[in-house]
A = this chain, B = another copy of it.
Amino acid sequence: MAEIVTESNSEFAAPGGAAATELPLVLLSHRGPITFDWDESGRTASRGSGGLVTALMGLAEHLADAVWVCAASSDEDRVVVGEAGGRSVLVATGAEPAIVAGDDSVEGSTLRIKMVAVEPAAHDAFYAVISNPLLWFVQHSLYGLAESPVITQVEHAAFDDGYVAVNRLFADAVADEVEARGGKALVMLHDYHFYLVAEQVRRRCPHALLSHFVHIPWPGPDTWLTLPPTMRDPLLRGLLGNDVVGFQTLGFARNFVRCCQDLLDLPADLDALTVSVDGRTVQVRHYPISVDPAALDRIAAAPVTQEYAADLAGAFQSDGRQLILRVDRTDPSKNVVRGFLAFGTLLDNHPELVGKVSFLALLQPSRTDVPEYFDYIAHIGAVVAEVNARHTNEGRQPIDMRMVEDYALVVAAYSVCDVVMVNPVADGMNLVAKEFLLVNSRDGVLALSETAGAYEELREHVLALHPFDVAQMAEALYEALTMDADQRREQRVAAAAHVRTHDVRAWLTAQLEDLAAVQRLGRREAPAAPAAGAPLPPLEGAKHRRRTAARPRG
């Protein structure tokens, strides 16, 4: 990864006014915002990357009282958990993050983190048996049901002693933090690892305001029948412990409501997107996640990125040649094999393009310890070799596949490519599509699968891909490569403008506004509520940015 540091989260100051809930914040995600390690200089701390961590850190840093609960992932994380005696630690989150000792003062942003150390066997069952692959595969519709999955006693035990047990552990950690704040807090839970948490937190903390955002697809009820009711019912009930359940798209939100109707037989309203359970009404909403444009602009402008961009343009775009790009993890859901098959078909059908167009694939190997993933990489390699053997022209191979993790190279490739191919089988959102739109400088065309979450937002400005139809994807690539300049520009400018105004901050703001509305509704309904319609005071913490001295790392 190139040495690019995002210096500041200041653009993510928490939204005030209507979005305010006035409550302390308890966040939960599996991967935390800070990871500790140990090298010759002693304990080190590094910040997670990505828009989600950046956005949520921005929110948490700007509140007077916030804590982020996450799993201890490194050995040093476990040491920190031991030292803290299970309590949260305060971390200075500047350029060189470090734990703040109890009485130190800090200059700059800080973040309170509570890491939870999970016993390895339970974590393995929770993570490597249930969350990935079982939930991941079900939610991305990846199983060939004639043969897989085969759910045995191993999976049942992993669910009970892994997923349920670990969710209980994290629910306790979250509830402890809520109770430490008088039982009233805004709780924001994340992703498919923690579907059971909300229901348990609600039981201990009935006055908490609970929300869960699901980052990956939510399929319809048919697909959830892949799991037995001893698993699927608790997962649904667990999510219904929230006040608001958030998904990436309206389609996924509707699927969730349909699941509650069909699988739990609960009264639900598919237009209002609400589910009634235990005398409560759960709001089902969609908040398309997005990127951090300012951070992306900084990376695009960095010298290393510019250098890469010049190299790529020289290698792939001299003499009017064109460049197709894909950027993906090697996850079977990403549909890399059919993408290359489509490119091969393009060259078969349009031999005049051989030598005139290249396909650069920047792939991150993913979960290579899982057989399905390992086999998938082998299948990708086979197809690449076959297409390259068939269409190499004057010693130039049409596909350049690189297994590499270098975000500056990725952003450089976004900026220069003529077409980006995003053709997942299923995808919660797909941020490659949005990142490309913001930094591309050539009016490149986005060819986007109709089954990617991003398609719901961007459909008017993209070339639709039908991800199982190699012939159609080949024709879409041809259309992209031959589209006239005006149409390319018009499409990309409109799509980029949408992404820039619907950034990750907007994603967060929309959720906070909905939660504030739920809170107002709750107050009006409660006996001791203030007069209906009384304006809420602005979010308390937003006014109190800490200004304390930085502590040297040690």
Interface 1/0 per residue, A213-229 and B, CB below 8 Å? 00000011111011111
Which residues of chain B come closer than 8 Å to A255, judged between CB atoms? 222
B379 x A147 contact (CB < 8 A) = yes
On chain B, the residues within 8 Å of A426 by CB distance are: 145
**Contact, CB under 8 Å: B345 / A152:** yes
Q: Please give, as numbers and ranges, the residues of chain B lying within 8 Å of A152 by CB-CB distance.
A: 345, 470-471
Asked whether A150 and B468 contact (CB < 8 A) given A219-B222, A262-B251, A425-B145, the answer is yes
Decide: A151 and B468 in contact? CB cutoff 8 A.
Answer: yes
* Chain B: CB-nearest residue to A138: B468
Task: Known A146-B376, A150-B338, A471-B156; judge A466-B425 contact (CB<8 A).
Answer: no
Residue in A332, A338, A469 whose Cβ sees the most chain B Cβ within 10 Å: A469
Give chain A interface residues in 142-157, CB to chain B under 8 Å. 142-153, 155-156
Do A150 and B341 touch across chains, with their CB atoms under 8 A apart?
A: yes
Interface residues of A in 206-247 (CB under 8 A from B): 219-223, 225-230
Kindly report which residue of chain B lies nearest to residue A149, judged by CB atoms.
Answer: B468
Evaluate contact between B222 and A141: CB separation under 8 angstroms.
Answer: yes
Closest-CB distance, A149 to chain B (whole angstroms)? 6
Interface centre among A341, A450, A472 (most CB of B within 10 A): A472
CA distance A229 to B333 in the complex (A): 20
Closest to A450 in B: B225
Q: Which of A321-363 contact B (CB under 8 A)?
A: 332-333, 335, 337-338, 341, 345
Chain B residues positioned under 8 Å from A251 (CB to CB): 262
Closest to A348 in B: B153
User: Complex: how many Å from CA A146 to CA B330?
Assistant: 11
Q: Is B258 a contact of A151 with CB atoms below 8 Å?
A: no
> Do A471 and B146 contact each other (CB < 8 Å), given the known contacts A228-B466, A262-B251, A466-B229?
no
Contact at B333–A470, with CB atoms within 8 Å? Answer: no
A251 to B450, CA, bound (A): 25
List residues of A whose CB falls within 8 A of some B CB: 141-153, 155-156, 219-223, 225-230, 251, 254-255, 258, 262, 270, 332-333, 335, 337-338, 341, 345, 372, 376, 379, 425-426, 450-451, 466, 468-472
Residues of B within 8 A of A149 (CB): 468
Whether A472 and B228, one on each chain, are in contact in the complex, defined by CB atoms closer than 8 angstroms, is yes
Q: How far is the CA of A229 from the CA of B471 in the complex (A)?
A: 13
**Taking the nearest CB of chain B, how far is it from the CB of A96, in angstroms?**
42
How many copies of this protein are present in the complex?
2
Question: What are 28 A-B contacts defined by CB distance under 8 Å?
Answer: A141-B222, A142-B145, A144-B148, A145-B426, A146-B333, A146-B337, A146-B372, A146-B376, A146-B425, A147-B337, A147-B379, A150-B341, A150-B470, A151-B466, A151-B468, A151-B472, A152-B470, A152-B471, A153-B345, A220-B221, A220-B222, A220-B258, A225-B451, A227-B468, A228-B466, A228-B469, A230-B472, A251-B262
Bound complex: CA A285 to CA B149 (Å): 32
> A150-B341, A222-B255, A341-B150 given as contacts; is B156 within 8 A of A468 (CB)?
no
CA distance A175 to B376 in the complex (A): 50
Give the 8 A-B CB pairs with smallest separation, nearest first: A144-B144, A146-B332, A228-B466, A220-B220, A151-B469, A228-B469, A153-B471, A145-B425
Task: Give A130 Cβ to nearest chain B Cβ, in Å.
Answer: 14
Q: How far is the CA of A33 from the CA of B255 in the complex (A)?
A: 41
Contact between A142 and B141, CB atoms less than 8 A apart: no
Instruction: Find chain B residues with CB under 8 A from A379 CB.
Output: 147
A222 and B223 contacting across the interface, CB-CB below 8 Å: yes
A143: nearest residue on chain B (CB-CB)?
A: B144
With a cutoff of 8 Å between Cβ atoms, the chain B residues found around residue A143 in the complex are 144
Bound Cα distance from A475 to B80, whole angstroms: 45
Q: Is the CB of A468 within 8 A of B229?
A: no
Q: Which B residues are CB-close (under 8 A) to A262?
A: 251, 254
- Chain B residues within 8 Å of A223, by CB: 141, 220, 222-223
> Are B146's CB and A468's CB within 8 A?
no
Please name the residue on chain B nearest to A142 by beta carbon. B146
| A474 CB → nearest B CB, Å | 9
User: In the complex, how many angstroms separate the beta carbon of A212 from the nearest chain B beta carbon?
Assistant: 21
**Which residues of chain B are near A156, meaning CB under 8 Å?**
471
Residues of chain B with a CB closer than 8 A to A466's CB:
151, 225, 228-229
- Of the candidates A220, A262, A333, the one having the most CB atoms from chain B within 10 angstroms of its own CB is A220
- Distance to closest chain B CB from A480 (angstroms): 17
User: Shortest Cβ distance from A422 into chain B, in angstroms?
Assistant: 16
Known pairs A145-B425, A223-B222; A471 contacts B151 (CB<8 A) = yes
Check B222 against A151 for contact (C-beta < 8 Å). Answer: no
Q: Return chain B residues, CB-CB under 8 Å to A425.
A: 145-146
- CB contacts (< 8 Å) of A225 on chain B: these are 450-451, 466
A141 touches which of B145, B230, B469 (Cβ 8 Å): B145
Question: Nearest CB to that of A337 among chain B residues?
Answer: B147
Set of chain B residues within 8 Å of A341, measured between Cβ atoms: 150
A341 CA to B222 CA, complexed, in Å: 23
Known contacts A141-B222, A152-B471; 20 additional CB pairs below 8 A are A141-B223, A142-B144, A144-B144, A144-B145, A146-B332, A146-B335, A146-B372, A146-B425, A147-B332, A150-B338, A150-B341, A151-B471, A153-B345, A220-B258, A222-B255, A223-B223, A225-B466, A230-B472, A251-B262, A254-B262
